Structure 1
């Protein structure tokens, strides 16, 4: 059931205009926790998928809530890697509409265990301007913005512009030549900062929650499939059935 938020979110004061109405489904206590926004292309390459997952998953283990926009690609990877309990999804339409449809299961899960936000009433369909406004809200909620991949004409660049206008630090990951040209250009201009050492970057946000399972840590090390079966046979099969991992070239990769 869609509800209207009845308290002030201080982070949204950094927006050009504080939203007149904010609607939600889920656990609003997540808004009071430390938050980081992760966004990027809808068509990430395999390297981006891997690093995005690691960043979101490891930050979540440090009790940081991951904020993104529920789109396909980097957004969905970020939500999944954080886990529904530890993520906030901001969408560009009414909360009664599951968009994009391909992410309907993910959105359902976040509604039940995490938090879904929108500034649009039920029945409002997504339009070009609603995505732009959605991007601003995603950026405002996080203390920093991480953009793992973006092309030169990507809509993600509007998120970076919002972050810079708000005075937030923007991070990206290093890419090969002719990849993620949108972020590479901004790195060259000194506007955003690349993450060269993931572990060092992650450690600036605290230590890992000791309650996290040994299996999660193992899966995020991209182990050999045969070795994983020997250690966690039934669990590996469960993760495959739940589509939380894929097998590529004999290695397990988290989704």
Structure 2
């Protein structure tokens, strides 16, 4: 664990600049374009799939994903980006990998990405430290993406922070009766919907003279209902994580897209 010595411009948006900020990992990730992603700890399959797609495309276009290391949307966002291009902000000391279910994920991020915390080693998470963590997550990102959230959920604090910081808020389009908090944000005009992941990423990508790396090529292929062997041969590094995230399912030896 070390102290961050350099001033981080993005954190000036916080109510008060952190007196101490500890890190473990690669500080150079702070210099990248960053998108913060938060949401439910028990997301629907729809939100899980879109979050994984979004974070994957962001990362492949050299955009760093920031989240809070929690179960659900946070963990999916980190995994989609890969541990090499993500920042996880903890509500506890860096030597405590919380929650325990994400211990391996957080350890991988520590080795290859970046862990941040405002708390000394051995400090354990408390209700108020989650709020402190959420403010830092929001401050680091150029914008905030709320993948799924219900009214009165913890994600509402992140939304409040984004509004106070004048950060743009983006959400996925959900059906009526689902993700009521994000639907309310859309209804009130306080958030914008992500209808096309590639178009959203293109707004923030700084990659020049290159074709935007898209995730939909793989999904489009799966929509043709190929055999498992065909999909494995064409996308050997994608098929397993896509099945795990719920983007695809495999039935009777054939692959089908779930979107």
Smaller-chain TM-score bracket: 0.7 to 0.9
How much does 1:226 deviate? 5.6
Specify the alignment match of 2:40 in structure 1. 41
Q: 1:59 Cα shift?
A: 1.1
Runs (4 or more) in structure 1 with deviation over 6 Å come to: 207-214
SS in 2 for 1:117: strand
Match in the other structure for 2:104: 105
Whether the 8 Å contact between 2:35 and 2:63 is mirrored in structure 1 is yes
Q: Distance in 1 between matches of 2:188 and 2:213?
A: 41
State the shift of 1:55 in Å: 1.0
Tell me the TM-score normalised to structure 2 length.
0.87
Deviation at residue 188 of structure 1 after TM alignment: 1.0
Distance 1:238 1:217, change over 3 A: closer
CA displacement 1:60-118 (0-9 Å, x = unmatched): 11111000000011101100001111100001000111111111111011000000000
Give the alignment's Cα RMSD to 1 decimal: 2.8
Q: State the Cα distance separating 1:42 from its structure 2 match.
A: 0.5
CA–CA distance in structure 2, aligned partners of residues 222 and 110 of structure 1? 31
Counterpart CA distance in 1 for 2:28 and 2:170 is 26
Report the CA distance between 1:212 and its aligned residue: 10
The unaligned stretches of length 5 or more in structure 1 are: none
1:169 aligns with 2:161: no
* Distance across 1 between alignment mates of 2:162 and 2:149: 15
Q: Is the 8 A contact 1:151 1:180 kept in 2?
A: yes
Q: Structure 2 matches for 1:1-255, cutoff 5 A?
A: 2-206=1-205, 219=218, 221=220, 223=222, 227-233=227-233, 236=236, 240=240, 248=249, 250=251, 251=255
Contact 1:4–1:24 under 8 Å retained in 2: yes
Offset, 1:202: 2.3
Report if the CA contact (8 A) 1:245-1:253 is conserved. Answer: no
Whole-angstrom CA distance in 2 between matches of 1:217 and 1:148: 18
Greater mean deviation of Cα atoms: 191-200 or 221-230: 221-230
Between the two proteins, the alignment pairs up a number of residues equal to: 252
Tell me, in whole angstroms, the C-alpha distance in 2 between the residues paired with 1:108 and 1:75.
Answer: 15
CA contact (8 A) 2:218 2:235 kept: no
Distance 1:162 1:18, change over 3 A: same
Cα distance per residue 1:107-153 (max 9 Å; x no partner): 01100000000000000000000000100000000010000100011
Whole-Å separation in 1 of the counterparts to 2:124 and 2:256: 38
Alpha-carbon distance change, 64 to 133 in structure 1, aligned in 2, over 3 angstroms: same
